[in-house]
């Protein structure tokens, strides 16, 4: 039987790192804040996990910057996969989440579900400093968990 490790490689403990593989600096701040507020939020994680099978064909003669751009554009990597029990969270991290974050996380979740022949619950998840209030009912309707850091602070 195929395992999550077979599909995504060896997971890591959810712990603060000096930097996170292929995660933008503004997204690293969000991860570090989550770790300070909720260090046990996920049991294990995969950073910048490849979720698509499709490989882009780079045309011959492309400049190095063009090749790098095309590979990044078509890499289909989700910011983070977070495992909590048997729930696999497909996480898109955004400082300010808008409708584009919903689209990204839905596509990544679909791709992950295509890969998984496993009895795992897959949860689309947007992690953000703040979300556009207009997306919250849409996210709820489509089963997307939106975690805003401001909601994780304990009331004083």
Contacts for 144-149: CB closer than 8 Å, 24+ residues apart: 144/102, 144/105, 144/106, 145/89, 146/97, 147/34, 149/30, 149/33, 149/34, 149/37
Within the chain, which residues score under 70 in pLDDT?
Answer: 53-57, 69-75, 118, 154-156
pTM: 0.84
CATH architecture of 33-151: 3-Layer(aba) Sandwich (3.40)
Percentages (nearest 5) of helix, strand, coil residues in the chain? 35, 30, 35
> What local confidence, expressed as pLDDT, does residue 148 receive?
96
> What local confidence, expressed as pLDDT, does residue 21 receive?
83
DSSP state of 149: G
**Domain edges within the chain:** 33-151
Helix (H, G, I), strand (E, B) or coil at 17: coil
């Amino acid at each position: 039987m195929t395992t999550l490790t077979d599909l995504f490689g060896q997971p890591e403990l959810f712990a603060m790192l000096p930097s996170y593989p292929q995660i933008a600096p503004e997204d690293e701040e969000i991860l570090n804040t989550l770790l300070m507020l909720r260090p046990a939020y996920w049991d294990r994680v995969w950073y910048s996990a490849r979720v698509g099978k499709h490989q882009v064909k780079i045309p011959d003669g492309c400049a190095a910057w063009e090749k790098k751009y095309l590979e990044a554009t078509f890499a289909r990597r989700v910011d983070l996969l977070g495992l909590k029990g048997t729930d696999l969270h497909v996480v898109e991290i955004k400082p300010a989440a808008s409708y584009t974050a919903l689209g990204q996380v839905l596509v990544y979740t679909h791709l992950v579900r295509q890969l998984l022949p496993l009895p795992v619950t897959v949860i689309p998840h947007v992690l953000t400093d703040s979300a556009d209030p207009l997306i919250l009912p849409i996210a709820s309707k489509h089963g997307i968990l939106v975690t805003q850091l401001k909601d994780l602070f304990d009331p004083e």
